Amino acid sequence: MNADDLIADFEFLDNWEDRYRHVIELGKKLPPFPEAERTETNKVQGCASQVWLISDLKQTPAGTIIEFQGDSDAHIVRGLVAVLLHLVSGHSPKEILETDILGIFRQIGLEGHLTPQRSNGLRSMVERIRGHARAALAAA
């Protein structure tokens, strides 16, 4: 699922409650996160809930992409992780850095309904993802 698909999915949802439920459903569909990766190193700082993110560089005929995995101990935050991963996983580091992730969250009507703590956590997750992309570019 790319950003356009995600935006189209959310456009069909009329109110915040429907979007909230959809986010939780997306979180339930995340693949299991490896227990061994639930470490302090992989934990995203700045989130009220516990959030873990890992990445893996893959070489494809088109170039390097980054595949992400993530999880959280809170249902709504796990859903936010799922939305983030739909936007960035499987893309090149350059594409990730060029994506206005928070702008997409505004466009699909999520950012304005998050508590200040969750908004800060979301920004921390985005910064962690961007950090992985910057590191991949620097290593190339």
The residues that are catalytic are 47
Instruction: With beta carbons less than 8 A apart as the criterion, state whether 71 and 108 touch.
Output: no
List the one residue out of 107, 74, 67 whose CA is nearest residue 88: 67
Q: Which pair of structure tokens corresponds to residue 9?
A: 């999915």
Q: What share of the chain is helix, strand, coil (3-state, %, to 5)?
A: 55, 15, 30
Contacts of 103 (CB under 8 A, 6+ apart): none
Spatial distance between the Cα atoms of 100 and 89, rounded to a whole number of angstroms: 14
